[in-house]
Structure 1
């Protein structure tokens, strides 16, 4: 943040390299540095795709949705679509960056919702995850060089294997075991509906009516997937977007309220204060005083 104005957020669209239109692509930090000579990576950006990064060596820093993370050997980072993030210091980092489109692995929705932005793998888990990433990278390269060998299904399976190897145990195993279970499907539908309608629908009952479930069913399914109820999940999604608007736009509080579907600034302020313990204007001022996460 400079001179009291929010740093602009770059909107990143999924744009694969020529010949790599399979929904997934494998890079590394060295390639990121070569492509980004102007160091846009250190500025806030908001991708519309997933990025899974593994730190094989080196140290660095990363920020995602108001959380700051120190990267060391064994760190894993999962940037989800819509996250506002920046690589604050990755000049010495090495390791794979796997980019993939939303929906490429729809069965991992619950794992995605429960997994933090950054976690740590021990040496054995890291070695196995890096092996899985290399396998995916080789198949991806083969698909690009020899199109008739390309198999999106194979790439999808290899990406699933990498995620199962890299993700913290509980979310990945729970979601995989429940892939065909009704509860997992209910949460998957609820989460998709929240992403589509959270600026208009602020009550779980709205989603229950639209999806054909009762509120208790949505609550049970959401708690099984994320550990929190459906109302908390919804409120946290609205709060996250509110913080993004306050931190990264010049919109006044009333403008943020309108963007998020509140009837007036007072209703938005009441909601924000209840969730964050401070009113939105005070939160914005504190974020700016702290350097905007820099």
Structure 2
């Protein structure tokens, strides 16, 4: 498996379309739950704005990340940042988890992690060694909390993921970070996603983001299409839609208040926007 981008599909979650399938900023599932659907082989692909942590607890696994092949015989965690080309091959006896983090959560975690945030920047495989019991407990807690709605769920999930990332950062020798992988296009996309997180409620046109990044609108759209499979405007709309769903599910704000929180000029416009992108009205989502 080579790391070139030509012909490499872009997914949110492997095998699914371009929509983030949950109102949460993370997704947790067992390795087997998805890989068994594809004959235990996940073909090479990439994610435009998602980070993944693959925790192989037991069972051999072959990992292909950015053109490098790693054969796992012992427990390990593979970190796959956004835009990295990757694929996996498992056997039916595989045990472990896949934890997927959306860009808004990663941006927040980077602010909270301080010097430990560098662990999110580059792909790396971390042998578990003597940390297996701790990681088993941590991943089981994430999976359990993810599976059931409960008060404080967002806060607890973010805290558990923080603990995991701090553990990973401590596995690197002091002062060492995974080797950098400079790529101008991916850097511009990452800067765009970070800028989007600050201004999506202001409904900036794509040209304003391009101007802030010092690039043309055409270039920004080309970067977004090439690396994420979506235009810049689609990424803006997907971020607004995700936040709308979260406000409808996790708060008691009415539709008018949600519309106002997200910077829409009129609730009727917000309702049309929401229905066009999600296929249902805000009220229907809340009832379901």
TM-score, normalised relative to structure 1? 0.50
Mapped contact 1:60–1:91 kept (Cα < 8 A): no
Deviations 1:101-157 (A, max 9, x none): 1241223542223x54212111x31221121111111111122xx5xx253222111
> Superposition RMSD on alpha carbons, in Å?
3.9
Q: Distance in 2 between matches of 1:70 and 1:44?
A: 16
Q: Distance in 1 between matches of 2:63 and 2:94?
A: 11
| Structural mapping, 1:102-251, within 5 Å | 102-104=103-105, 105-107=109-111, 108=113, 109-113=117-121, 116-122=123-129, 124-143=130-149, 146=150, 149=151, 151-170=153-172, 195-196=187-188
Instruction: For 1:101 and 1:8, locate their aligned partners in 2 and report how far apart those are by CA, in whole Å.
Output: 23
CA contact (8 A) 1:55 1:74 kept: yes
Q: TM-score, normalised by structure 2?
A: 0.51
- Give the number of equivalent residue pairs: 176
Residue 258 of structure 2 is matched in structure 1 by: none
| Distance in 1 separating the partners of 2:168 and 2:126 | 10
Do the aligned residues in 2 keep the contact of 1:16 with 1:25 (CA within 8 Å)?
Answer: no
Q: Are the counterparts in 2 of residues 56 and 74 from structure 1 also a CA contact under 8 Å? A: yes
- 1:77 maps to which residue? 78
Q: Distance between the aligned counterparts of 1:158 and 1:44, measured in 2?
A: 29
2:30 paired residue number: 28
- Per the alignment, residue 9 of structure 1 pairs with 8
Moved over 4 A (4+): 14-17, 191-194
Equivalent residue number for residue 46 of structure 1: 46
Distance of 1:90 and 1:76 partners within structure 2: 17
1:100 alignment counterpart: 101
> 1:210-240: per-residue Cα shift (whole Å, max 9, x none)?
99xxxxxxxxxxxxxxxxxxxxxxxxxxxxx
Q: Indicate if the aligned counterparts of 1:64 and 1:85 stay in contact, CA closer than 8 A.
A: yes
Structure-2 change in CA distance of 1:193 and 1:87 (3 Å): closer
Whether the aligned pair in 2 keeps the contact of 1:7 and 1:44 (CA below 8 Å) is no
**Structure 2 residues not aligned, in runs of 5+:** 14-18, 177-182, 191-211, 214-222, 228-288
